[in-house]
Amino acid sequence: MDSGPGQVVNTRRNTMRLKGAVGRGLSLLLLGSSLACAGCSSNGNDKDDSGTSNPGPVETNVVKGKVVDTAGKPLAGAEVVADNQVLYDSNVVGTTGADGTYRLDLGKAAVTWNASARFQRQYNGKTYTFNLHPSNPASFATNEGAVRDFSWKLTGEKPDGGNYGSPVLFNMVAYENPQDPDTALDSLNVELTLTPSGPLVDGSTGSPVTAHATRDGNGTGLHDIAVGRYTITARYAPSGKAAQPLVVRVNNTGSYASSVTADFAAVTEGVYRIDLDVDFPK
């Protein structure tokens, strides 16, 4: 279907099952009314991350916008979803054209929507899926319409929590430091250095990353790394003491060495990780 500048494919999936947040007693007749949603979104004054107004006016019953890559260039082939917040599995889905634009017709049902976007990239023989960063994450009503731009970010915090980057985690195999057996090991004293081996997933030239490990609910390591192929080394570097080199390997794979080169592996779609074992040299 030709839907404007981006040659957008616009698909509606509509099953008349109310989402759990809405009681079964809600009459579906209400969906055809002109009920407005106060405070659901702005009135056409959305801004992108640089503070520039989005191109084109807001249209009622439509969500539209532009998707750009990490360099700010139009990103073709990104999937944009307008998620109906009232009816289950009643989303509108489109794909950006060569100019990075999309335009989705929401119909006339008096409901609210959330917009999201994602993009797939082939890299080193694997397919990676990335959630894109919204210019404005607020929901909006059908009769208001909205402009929602998206951008591809390799790292940084997501509006709903978590990071756009992926973690490099490790398992500390050793039980004691052979040079200091009387002091308990602390995995937070491990320092990792990640040196890009070739371009990153977006084609850009990455820079080496060196940092001490931190810990969160996923494990111990570095937690917001741009997807790429990295050569990784490790040291045990407690504050105030001489650093000691460690040997590394991909978790439960092969022999230990002074460095290992690894790609991120999929945990689930859109979630990627490098898992390592680190040890003191024998």
Q: Is residue 256 part of a domain?
A: yes
Residue 147 near residue 114 (C-beta atoms within 8 A):
no
Q: For 100, which DSSP code?
A: S
Number of domains in the chain: 2
Domain-located, residue 3: no
Q: Do 170 and 106 share a structural domain?
A: no
Flag whether 159 is in a domain.
no
150-189: buried (b, 16+ CB within 10 Å) or exposed (e) per residue?
A: bbbbbeeeeeeeebbbbbbbbebeeeebeeeeeeebebeb
143/203 same-domain check: no
Q: Examine the fold and report which residue of 105, 121, 151 is the final residue of a domain before the chain moves on.
A: 151
Distance CA 194, CA 232 (A): 5
The domain boundary residue, chosen from 106, 122, 151: 151
> Are 105 and 206 found together in one domain?
no
pLDDT digits 0-9 by tens, 18-65 = 444 443 333 333 333 333 333 333 333 344 444 333 447 899 999 999
**Tens of pLDDT, residues 236-278:** 999 989 999 999 999 999 999 999 999 999 998 889 999 999 9
CATH number of 132's domain = 2.60.40.10
**Residue 227 pLDDT exceeds 90:** yes
Q: Rounded mean pLDDT of the chain?
A: 84
Q: Is residue 33 part of a domain?
A: yes
In a domain, 103, yes or no: yes
- Give me Rg for the CA atoms of the chain: 24
pLDDT of residue 130: 97
Residues 138 and 199 in one domain: no
Pair 75, 107 in one domain: yes
Q: Say yes or no: 186 and 261 in one domain.
A: yes
Give the phi and the psi of residue 31 in degrees, each rounded to 5. Answer: -65, -25
One domain for residues 141 and 16: yes
Q: Is the pTM of this model over 0.75?
A: yes
136 and 85 in one domain? yes
76 assigned to some structural domain = yes
Within-domain flag for 6: no
106-110, 148-152, 199-203, 207-211, range with the lowest pLDDT? 106-110
Structural domain of 221 = 166-279
Answer whether residue 62 is part of any domain. yes
- Are residues 138 and 189 located together in one domain of the fold? no
132 and 16, same structural domain?
yes
Does 232 lie in the same domain as 206?
Answer: yes
27, 118: one domain: yes
Under 8 Å between Cβ of 154 and 70: yes
